[in-house]
Amino acid sequence: MDATTKEKIVALNKEIALCANRKDLTEATTLFKKAKENGWCNSHTYSGIINTNIRCGNISNAISLFEELKCSKQKGLRIDVITCTTIMKGYTSIGDIKSCLELIKHMMNQNPKVLPNIRTINTFLRGCVFTGNIEQADKMILNMNKYYKVIPDVSSWEYYVTLLCQGLKLDKVYPILGRLKNDNSMLFGLGAMYLALARALSLTGDIKGCKKALKSVNETLLKEEELDKVDDRNEDDIDGGDDIITKSKVVSGGKRAWKSSHSIDDNKRSQSLELFREHKRAEMRSEIDNINKFIDSLNEKSLGINTLLPYYLKVLSIPPSLAATTQVTASNKTFIKSNFVKQLVNGIKDKFGLTYSLTQIRDESTNNILKQLEDMLENSINDEGHIDVNRVFSNNNSNKLEICSGGGEWAVNQASNDKSSNWITLELRHDRVYQTFTRSIYAGLNNLLVLGGDAMDIIPNHIPSQSMDNIFVNHPEPPQQIGGVDSEGKHLLTNNFFEETTRIMKINGLITIVTDNSWYAKFLMRQLSPIIRSIGLISVNLQRNKSNKNDKNNNTEWEIYDSDEAINVYVGKPGVECGHVIDASSYFDRLWKRGKIVDRYFILLKKTTHSTGKIHTLSSTKVSSSSDKVEPSESTSRMSMKRNKKLLEGIIDIDTKQQNKKIKFD
């Protein structure tokens, strides 16, 4: 192969990598086909196209491409650690730990072996954190050095310790922290590990141990901040002098060095990471305060299994519906309730520390507690797998669901100020589900049900029709996140999503969607407009009631940002008329504010029995519960013509030179 051809291959692979960053699947596919036609494909080409598919949410196609690479007969074309790590990222994104394990086995069966590296291992461990799989993380930590010759780094230990603390397996945590506490390379993960320990100790009632762990968190954060100052003073000598400890020397593996380059792109990334690090420390200190408040309210004997049991009864980690919960035959799929209940109970035992809690009581009591848990699930789940939320709570209160609830802070605040309603959170990532679980305990809530799993699995298969009064989606990830406005990334809020959420809504129920991305708000408006009437939804046209302008619950901090014939997009804060009981913040909300992103856009939809073809009008003081009947106001407010010109119609700022760059490969 001549030098010119090699240059073209390198350029093509770089262009595919850029397509992955932009989530431009069409262009990446075109380039990949060109490479195949010319016989230019190598492992980097496959890694690029596989990564683009994964970033665009097309996991099945990514897997097909990887299988194509595995079966390739082309000389010199074979899987390597980069392609394997890339496809593992795809598996973990859908919680498929089994396929990750099969992949590692396949890598080790190659001749020569394709040994996992630290990025491969940390991708696997991150998948274990996302799914709450303590068992497989345990095995990986034990085997990674023995079989793969890979030493755990700060990310590896942070993932592992976090999982152990969630399962209350603290006998394994103490020796690890004892070894790591004096290792400078572990500094930027040690605070998170001690915080995970403090969280676990607060749930076991070990007040003395919890306070000691919190003290270690504070000490570690101060060391991090001091290192920031040292690093800034020595920026011009970042890699010089063995006597100076800098971030680039502390950080390894999954924790990237921050200031190893002075290029424009690296400086932007450095600023972003600095902002994130600063935000993370602020969030950790906030959690320290919350844990301290909680343990100060306890005495040495006030927390045990009997106290925690009500919360164990209201946390469900729901497995994929077509796993062991169904029996598949050639003709049909049959739901097996007993299998489903068994998986739910095992999830609570393994992922939320129930197994440890049961060891603290007498054997006969253990059986009684497990029976209570199984009976509650049996009574709350019908033969089709639908969860009756009102049976879980043993009441007939209104039901309010937050989808993509993150760490649950917003929902916990709402539930704390709305005790007459049942609140439900739904989140894919287990680490965030666990955060919601602990926040619920700290707040002493008995009106919050915590669900873990994929929304587009749980909603169609496990939420019954006409069971929800309100649905909230706060800050959903837009398709162009970390991409461009023309990116092809998948997003949750598809037409199918709205069809399913409408199905589970009660008549007159409200759906409130809040985003900080004006482009995405307008995208949803355009997407929904053609179908909104056919699926039984109408847009609510909010109106201020001037007679109640001094009412603290009469939120008037909004105006119409954009509108078409069917849907309004508002800019401002949604209030009680949108189902928001209190103006509460969240992790991502505060992160965006640190980055000077302060505007919020929202869409308010209502389920109706019929379609009038008109935007429904709702007074801002009319509704306190979405189950109440809403009467339209007599007049419609004039739409504001103000537009934020700085947002340029909501289109995000991207590097046009990079996006428009085209390379001729002919």
Question: Averaged over 544-559, what is the pLDDT?
Answer: 56
Residue 130 maps to a domain: no
Reply yes or no on whether the pLDDT at 427 is more than 90: yes
Residue 356 maps to a domain: no
Quick one: tokens of 464?
Answer: 């019954």
Reply yes or no on whether the pLDDT at 661 is more than 90: no
**Domain, as residue range, for 231:** 153-303
Residue 186 maps to a domain: yes
Residues 198-224 pLDDT 10s: 999 999 989 999 999 999 999 999 998
294: Cα within 13 Å, side-chain hemisphere: 28
Reply yes or no on whether the pLDDT at 657 is more than 80: no
How many structural domains are present in the chain?
Answer: 2
Among 281, 303, 325, which residue terminates a domain? 303
Residue 498 CA to residue 491 CA, distance in Å, equals: 12
| HEC assignment per residue over 56-108 | CCCHHHHHHHHHHHHCCCCCCCCCCHHHHHHHHHHHHHCCCHHHHHHHHHHHH
Per-residue pLDDT, 257: 40
DSSP string, 460-475: HHHS-TT-EEEEEEES
Residue 121 maps to a domain: no
Among 303, 324, 344, which residue terminates a domain? 303
Instruction: Kindly report the number of other CB atoms within 10 A of residue 435's CB atom.
Output: 23
User: For residue 626, what pLDDT band results from cuts at 50, 70 and 90?
Assistant: very low
Three-state secondary structure call for residue 538: strand
In 182-263, which ranges are continuous DSSP H helix? 187-204, 207-233, 247-250
Residue type, 475: H
Among 272, 303, 334, which residue terminates a domain? 303
User: For residue 587, what pLDDT band results from cuts at 50, 70 and 90?
Assistant: low
User: For residue 635, what pLDDT band results from cuts at 50, 70 and 90?
Assistant: very low
Q: Specify whether the CB–CB gap between 442 and 363 falls below 8 A.
A: no
Per-residue pLDDT, 625: 34
pTM of the model: 0.83
Residue 520 CA to residue 114 CA, distance in Å, equals: 42
Residue type, 350: D
Cis ω for the linkage preceding 152 (within 30 of 0): no
Per-residue pLDDT, 320: 72
Residue 169 maps to a domain: yes
Per-residue pLDDT, 307: 82
Per-residue pLDDT, 195: 97
Residue 365 CA to residue 372 CA, distance in Å, equals: 11
Q: Specify whether the CB–CB gap between 267 and 288 falls below 8 A.
A: no
Residue 30 maps to a domain: no
Per-residue pLDDT, 485: 46
Reply yes or no on whether the pLDDT at 235 is more than 80: no
Nearest alpha carbon to residue 100 among 69, 139, 58, 151: 139
Mean pLDDT of the chain: 82
Residue 6 maps to a domain: no
Reply yes or no on whether the pLDDT at 621 is more than 50: no
Residue 163 maps to a domain: yes
Reply yes or no on whether the pLDDT at 666 is more than 70: no
Q: Which of 85-99, 115-129, 532-546 has the lowest mean pLDDT?
A: 532-546
Residues 368-414 pLDDT 10s: 889 889 999 999 999 989 999 999 999 999 999 999 999 999 999 99
Question: Averaged over 176-195, what is the pLDDT?
Answer: 94
Residue 129 CA to residue 484 CA, distance in Å, equals: 29
